[in-house]
Amino acid sequence: MDARDADLKRELDATLHARRDLGEEYESALVDSFLEKVDQRIDGAVERRVRRQLAEQQMRLARDSRSPKAMDYWGERFGFGIVSLVLAVPLSAIAGGVARLPGLLVAWAGIVGVNVVQAVRTDPNLFRRRKSSQGSDWED
């Protein structure tokens, strides 16, 4: 039994003792007074519990807002794709003009390779096999 339970037990004993001393005509006032104290104690306990849960929820939200999410990488992927396409034009022209078709293929293989590396960096599970809800493997 903690201190608050002991205080409540003492309060109940005092209320019962006062009822014996004062008589039955004060019984309802004494009971109301005791119930008011019980209500205050319950309200305090509920308030502490709600405050603790709100604090835990705020901590979770703060932690979640700091951790990277897939949506955080959307702008980075979009920007990287645009830069790749913009740089692909002069690289293709230079490679095609100097080494013709083999140079063009090497330039585009490099562009695709850099984009694949960037995609895997932002989503490490991108090319791994996934299981469907029925348990069968998807074919890549």
Cα 125–Cα 128–Cα 134 angle in degrees, nearest 5: 110
Question: Residues 11, 37: contact at Cβ < 8 Å?
Answer: yes
Q: Please, are residues 41 and 8 in contact by the beta-carbon 8 Å criterion?
A: yes
140 residues of the chain, pLDDT tens digit each:
677 778 888 888 888 888 888 887 888 888 888 888 888 888 989 999 999 999 999 988 887 766 555 555 677 888 888 999 999 999 999 999 999 999 999 999 999 999 988 888 887 787 886 655 455 555 44
The span from the CA of 69 to the CA of 59, in Å, is 17
- Domain-wise residue ranges, the chain: 3-66, 70-122
Overall pTM surpassing 0.85 (yes/no): no
Burial class (CB in 10 A: 0-12, 13-18, 19+), 107: buried
